[in-house]
Amino acid sequence: MMMKTSTILLAIALASTALPAAAQQSSNVAFARGTSSAQIPGTIRGREYRDYIVRAAAGQRIRINLAARSASPYFNLMPPGSSGEAVHIGSSAGNSYEGVLDRGGQWTIRVYQMRSAERRGTVAAYRLSLAVLGRAAPGRPGDAMVPGTSYNATGPVDCLLNPGAPYRQCNAGVRRLGNGSAIVEIEIGAGGKRRIEFRNGQPVTSNMGSVSYSMNNGMYEVRVGGETYRIVDAFIFGG
């Protein structure tokens, strides 16, 4: 069901008292009528972390920026049902993120500090800027799910993870959002995943930043930093 962000109310309840080490604070985020964005101030101390829960629909675009007076706070973006895995890890990919949501439900933005700041009991003030834009994706008619997964298709892709190394096959899954838009997740070992976003049939970004690509005989060759992935176009469009 399509979610209309203009009908959501802003409702953020934050505790004002100090919490013990490693305490979690969780707030449901929604937007004032007629808007689709919010500016949220906050403070964390030491090992505390703060979760902001945002309900959105597949195909909508989320835009997040975390600004702080110190360099210690970061945020991770975790999908619905996550047990800790994240599609964006701020400590390695930076404190700004924009991308298309590949599934609907409750997304979690977790603000936290690095271990060095945790140990010192650092108090960090920040401002979280958040926007959820656009409408839900219609999806590709008749596109079934692979049983037991959240993907429309799974299979191996050729991946080159280190320059000079040979290509090998990596397991991958795709969530198709319709009209050539899709999210491809590729297992790269040690529990890591490379997440590549396609829009209108073109790879446009990844969870490690910008991408470049070439196309030859129905095969995308997508470059992410020093990594290269070969993805057949039928994986994106179905068929």
CA-CA distance, 228 to 170, in Å (whole number)? Answer: 12
Asked if residues 56 and 104 have their Cβ atoms less than 8 Å apart, the reply is yes
Work out the pLDDT band at 100, boundaries 50, 70, 90: confident
Bridge partners for 122 per DSSP? none
3-state SS, residue 145? coil
Contacts of 11-17 with CB under 8 Å at 24 or more apart are: 12/38, 12/40, 12/52, 14/42, 14/50
CA-CA distance, 235 to 149, in Å (whole number)? Answer: 16
Asked if pLDDT for residue 10 goes beyond 50, the answer is no
With CA atoms as reference, report the closest residue to 73 among 52, 94, 87, 53. Answer: 94
pLDDT of residue 74: 93
Query: Please, where are the H alpha helices in the chain?
Result: 90-93, 115-120, 233-237
Bridge partners for 168 per DSSP? 159
Asked if residues 53 and 24 have their Cβ atoms less than 8 Å apart, the reply is no
Asked if pLDDT for residue 18 goes beyond 60, the answer is no
The per-residue pLDDT of the chain, averaged, comes to 84
pLDDT of residue 58: 83
Please write the tens of the pLDDT for every residue from 159-210.
999 988 899 999 999 999 888 889 999 999 888 899 999 988 999 999 888 9
Please write the tens of the pLDDT for every residue from 55-98.
998 888 899 999 988 777 999 999 998 888 888 889 888 899 98
What are the φ/ψ torsions at residue 143 (nearest 5 degrees)?
-80, 105
Residue type, 137: A
